[in-house]
Structure 1
Amino acid sequence: MAHRKSPARIAKDARVAHLHGLAARNAASPAVPWDALAELESRLVGRIVLPSDPNYDKDRQESNHAFQAYPQIIVYCVCENDVLECLAAARKYHLWVAVRSGGHSTAGYSVNDGMVIDLSELQGVVLDPPTARVHVRPGTDFDHFNGAMNHTGWHVPTGACGNVCVGGFVQGGGYGYTSRMFGIQSDLVESFRVALASGTIVTASATENPRLYWAMRGGTGGNFGVLLQVTYRMVRLDQVWAWSIGWDAAHAAEVLELMQARYMKTGAPDALGYMMNLGFHNGSPCYMVQGMFCGSRDDGLKAIAPLLAIPSAQLLVDRMGTYPDMNNWLDDHPYSLPENLPDGICETKACGYFSRPLARADWQRLIDYFSTSPNTWSMAYLEPYGGAINRYPAKDSAFIHRDADADLVVDVFWRTPEERAQTEAWLDGFMQLAQPFLNGHVYQNYPDRRLQDFAQAYWGDAYPELQAVKALYDPTNFFRFEQSIRLP
């Protein structure tokens, strides 16, 4: 056949020529010389985005518009060698590197003012049923991950948000509807493939680089290297029962008291996973739980019978299907929270682990306070632990949160500095009310820039070992950000 250059290669040649042209015209020099940028672009299968590019503002933007950073270079990597080329350039020109998979860091740590290594196009899911393993690239979002697993009878717990990507999620633990049954997502990791700052690619598993394997399951992304691939142990899960219950305000405190007593660390079957939501529906506070049962509808109904027995209970969702299909269904049913968020809105999040029992009056104080929200976008929700999450030995990974009832998460949304001050003051008031019942730890997948002692909050007694692993695999502190693991 006749030789023909691909359209992608033609477009790349044009970008390279443009960069060489800027060098020839002695255009204002960026952090990396124009000719060096041209050389990097030519060596990539992916592409470079610079501040002068027309789509730069879209490409630099985190999912949360509260965070505004202006990288000198964004590189979309589509293969492993692209990552190695980025690391080599960053070393040579002393660039500060941020690693981004989906851009959902709740503290804005997926971008910086240096080089962003973007992995969102490094995607792929390969199932290996004979070994009950699945190999996943870091830029794979959960819509694609779940879609690849759908109707296969195999499962790995994922988060509820479809556009969150594997790379960041798994390194912070990873909670989902089926975690009480099968564990935090990082508990199912068999191995990681990782590019270190030196440009070396290593495997981290129980037998190869075991300390790095321990650290990357909870040590959070951007600390040790660039995650290139995850291999998970799959579990069997054919169908789940999706369910949701709503109650009137008069019974919300009774519901929460019962849930903490019988549906978190103890009481409920592992097969029952859920989120308890306080939000606003049609402008008024609502009290709704939604979840999945890894089993039959009849067994699921038995598990939630005490919740349905509380006066005013309404079964709002009652549906069988595959986990991916039901995960999508629960996005919109019985309704979406928060409602009617404007485009480009900003979010502030705080969370903490409930580990002490609340009396009904304590729950009522939180409910009453929630109703004073400055706007109808605020949310408070509980992610229950127990089951397989709590049984996993805390010392066996850097995800230490194995003795908690539930993760309390509170989100507020704002558009202006005035709204920010008002909503964050309200958020602080909510967390102060909850503080006597929290254990002082914070889920590292919901990082908070405002934390005074983030290391203790995220990792507790595991932090010294994380520092030792950091010194072993990133001795120059190449991977760093405001709340990264410090060298010892």
Structure 2
Amino acid sequence: MAHRKSPARIAKAARVAQFHALAASAADAAGGAGETSDTAIALESLAHLEHMLVGRVVLPSSPDYDQARQESNPAFQSFPKIIVYCAVENDVLECLAVARKYKVPVAVRCGGHSTAGYSVNNGMVIDLSDIQGVVLDPPNQRVHVRPGTDFDHFNGAMNHTGWHVPTGACGSVCVGGFVQGGGYGYTSRRYGIQSDLVESLRVALADGTIVTASETENPLLYWSMRGGTGGNFGVLLQVTYTMVPLDTVWAWSIGWDMSQAANVLTMMQQRYMQSGAPDALGYMMNLGYYGGQPVAMVQGMFCGTREAGLQAIAPLMEIPSAQLLVDKTGTYPDMNIWLEDHPYSLPDNLPDGIAESKASGYISRPLTTADWQSIIDYFKTSPNQWSLAYLEPYGGAINRYPIEASAFIHRRVDADLVVDVFWRNPAERAQTEAWLAGFMQLVQPFLNGHVYQNYPDASLQDFENAYWGPAYPTLQQAKRAYDPTNFFKFQQSIRLPREE
């Protein structure tokens, strides 16, 4: 039969030729024929890498470099020497081999949503966004998911199947990073943190071997990668989850006058977090600005009937000024999308390309109504109308999961308190981050000192304790066992025991 080169291979051949040409130019600049510069050798290696890949290489000279290097948050500006869009597992192994040979630091990126900018570095970025896919196995109640699969695709593949795995609210976040940091969503109080449902992980180690991590195979790696965060032990290639049956959910939202916000928060902490509310009730409590005015609004899902959901939120509806703003039943994927815009989106009217700074901490002791009022009063002093403070309530299945069973230690808490600020220029950054620091100083007495590792903060002085607490020594044992040369290393990576 006729043999015709595919358009993709034609484009690849052109890129390889370009790298060869750059290498030749570098050799000429180093002294002409007979001499070869380190740059020329490296470029020839990149030409070989490009040839071997199904994916593609992006260099600083590539026309799409500025777009490729950018994280989702423009607050972070890094300039990698090479970005590789991997398309298959072997592409990852080829990248690791080149990085080992030239001792290039590696960052692993799926969706580029690291809140500390760790998805990109100034060395090599191994981008997994093209390694995506979802395969359901209903007879065995399993689903196999590739790391570059974002939640829009993950949820979409599960939609109308009657099966479910908890995911986050942001559709562009990918599985690979999310699950390694735990993974919180609307249904986590019912079914657990996403990593609690992981049956096994397929991982490429620094030495180029691929292993399976589960309760029976490489159990230390399995324990560590469920909460130990990405970029520490290897490159995640696939996750297998245990699915749970879930046909429909009831989506709901309530709004109140700001004068009632402290009463709302007091009731929520007393009756809707570690105790009181049914596990089936999941939600986020928001303080934000809408139409230029501060607002107090909760939105969530109930894993059950509308009638049971209404009964669960009845005490909240009895607080003066309460209005039921969302009252809709559908599949989890459909309701997850619906809640992005209903009753309204926060932050309101956020400009394109704006940068974000974030801080968070876990609340684990009761606050008085006066305590909550002090937080609300401070929130009203926001320097702009994009600031957002919200609670992600724990309890239920999250808190029942054995704390020693994974590296995700945040189990005996009421809620994660998260504050986001947004800015467009250095002056606004200084102003909003000073306000954010004041907010966290105000709430510090109410927090337990730990931080959700999926919201990393580069400014943390004792990040080891903040993210992992008593789990950290075991994570170091896993580091020594699976990455003994400390190949995977970044500002807040897990350190080898001998580096302590």
TM bracket (short chain): over 0.9
Aligned to 1:377: 386
- Against the structure 1 CA distance between its residues 341 and 231, is the aligned structure 2 distance closer, same or farther, given a 3 Å change threshold? same
Equivalent residue runs for 1:286-325 within 5 Å: 286-325=295-334
Unaligned runs of 5+ in 1: none
Residues 1:185 and 1:370: Cα distance change in structure 2 (over 3 Å):
same
On the 8 A contact 2:24/2:40 being kept in 1, the answer is no
- Distance in 2 (CA, whole Å) between partners of 1:487 and 1:341 is 42
Contact 1:31 1:72 in 2 (8 A): no
Identify if the C-alpha distance between structure 1 residues 86 and 265 changes in structure 2 by more than 3 Å, giving closer, same or farther: same
Partner of 1:46: 55
Question: 1:324 & 1:32 partners in 2: Cα distance?
Answer: 49
CA contact (8 A) 1:31 1:93 kept: no
Q: Determine whether 1:4 maps to 2:4.
A: yes
Matches within 5 A, 1:208-247: 208-247=217-256
Once the two structures are superposed, residues 382-437 of structure 1 have per-residue CA deviations (whole angstroms, 9 ceiling, x without a partner) of: 00000000000000000000000000000001111111111111111111111111
CA distance in 1, matches of 2:411, 2:46: 47
> Does 2:317 match 1:269?
no
* Counterpart residue number, 2:33: none
Q: For 1:193, what is the secondary structure of its paired residue? A: strand
1:147 aligns with 2:156: yes
The aligned residue for residue 101 of structure 2 is 92
CA distance in 2, matches of 1:146, 1:435: 36
What SS does the corresponding residue of 1:25 show, helix, strand or coil?
Answer: helix
TM-score (norm 1): 0.99
What are the superposed Cα offsets for residues 89-126 of structure 1, whole Å, 9 maximum, x if unpaired? 00001100000000000000000000000000000000
Q: SS of the residue aligned with 2:135? A: strand
Q: Is the 8 A contact 1:30 1:72 kept in 2?
A: no
The answer on whether the counterparts of 1:45 and 1:82 sit within 8 Å (CA) in structure 2 is: yes
TM superposition shift of 1:338 = 0.4
The aligned residue for residue 206 of structure 2 is 197
Amino acid in structure 2 at the alignment position of 1:83: V
Query: What do residues 334-360 of structure 1 show as CA deviations (whole Å, max 9, x unaligned)?
Result: 000001212221111000000010000
Give the corresponding residue for 2:486: 477
**Conservation of the 8 A alpha-carbon contact between 2:26 and 2:39:** no
Alignment of 1:400-479 (within 5 A): 400-479=409-488
User: Relative to structure 2, which stretch is displaced further, 31-40 or 130-139?
Assistant: 31-40
1:361-387 alpha-carbon deviations (Å, 9 max, x no partner):
000000010000000010000000000
Task: Supply the distance in 1 between the matched residues of 2:415 and 2:359 (Cα, whole angstroms).
Answer: 14
Write out aligned runs for 1:1-80 (5 A). Answer: 1-26=1-26, 30=39, 33-80=42-89
Separation (CA, whole Å) in 2 of partners of 1:343 and 1:67: 16
Q: Distance in 1 between matches of 2:289 and 2:264?
A: 18
Deviation string for 1:66-94 (max 9, x for gaps)?
A: 10000000000010000000000000011
CA distance in 1 between counterparts of 2:39 and 2:162 reads 51
CA distance in 2, matches of 1:37, 1:251: 61
Distance in structure 1 (CA, Å) of the matches to 2:293 and 2:362: 27
**2:365 is the counterpart of 1:356:** yes
How far apart are 1:32 and its partner, in Å? 6.2
> 1:22: Cα distance to partner?
1.5
| Stretches of structure 2 lacking an aligned partner (at least 5 in a row) | 30-37
Q: 1:90 to 1:66 in 2, by over 3 A?
A: same
Q: Residue 123 of structure 1 corresponds to which residue in structure 2? A: 132
**Displacement after TM superposition at 1:24 (Å):** 2.0
CA distance in 2, matches of 1:32, 1:300: 65
Three-state SS of the structure 2 residue aligned to 1:311 is coil
The answer to whether structure 1 residue 283 and structure 2 residue 292 are counterparts is: yes
2:397 to 388, 404, 407: 388
Identity %: 78
How much does 1:183 deviate? 0.1
Shift of 1:184: 0.1
Q: Distance in 2 between matches of 1:30 and 1:314?
A: 65
Distance 1:480 1:32, change over 3 A: farther
Judging changes above 3 Å, is the alpha-carbon distance between structure 1 residues 19 and 317 closer, same or farther for their aligned structure 2 residues?
same
Equivalent position amino acid for 2:374 in 1: R
Q: Deviation per CA, 1:167-195, whole angstroms, max 9, x where unpaired?
A: 00000000000000000000000000000
Distance 1:334 1:114 in 2: 43
Quick one: distance in 2 between partners of 1:81 and 1:341? Answer: 40
1:14 maps to amino acid: A
| Paired letter, 1:386 | G
1:178 and 2:179 aligned: no
Aligned to 1:33, the other structure's residue is in SS state helix
CA–CA separation in structure 1 for the residues paired with 2:40 and 2:484: 24
Is 1:157 matched with 2:166? Answer: yes
Q: Which amino acid aligns with 1:317?
A: V
Contact between 1:22 and 1:34, CA under 8 Å: does it hold in 2? yes
Secondary structure at the residue paired with 2:26? coil
Post-superposition shift, 1:33?
A: 1.6
Aligned equivalents of 1:305, 1:426: Cα separation in 2: 35
Contact residue 97 and residue 114 of structure 1 kept, 8 A? yes
CA distance in 2, matches of 1:26, 1:377: 49
What's the C-alpha RMSD, in Å, of the aligned pairs? Answer: 0.9
1:328 aligns with 2:337: yes
The separation in 2 between residues aligned to 1:174 and 1:37, in whole angstroms, is 36
Equivalent residues of 2:22, 2:40 under 8 A apart: no
Contact 1:62 1:110 in 2 (8 A): yes
Letter matched to residue 440 of structure 2: M
Shift, 1:25, TM fit = 2.4
Contact 1:181 1:387 in 2 (8 A): yes
Amino acid at match of 2:333: P
| Counterpart for residue 178 of structure 2 | 169
Letter in 2 for 1:399: F
In the alignment, which residue of structure 2 is the partner of 1:136? 145
After TM superposition, the score normalised by the length of structure 2 is 0.97
Q: Secondary structure at the match of 2:107?
A: strand
Distance of aligned partners of 1:120 and 1:446 in 2 relative to their CA distance in 1, 3 Å threshold = same
2:265 is aligned to 256
* AA of the residue aligned to 1:461: P
Deviations 1:418-468 (A, max 9, x none): 111111111111111111111000000000011110000000010001011
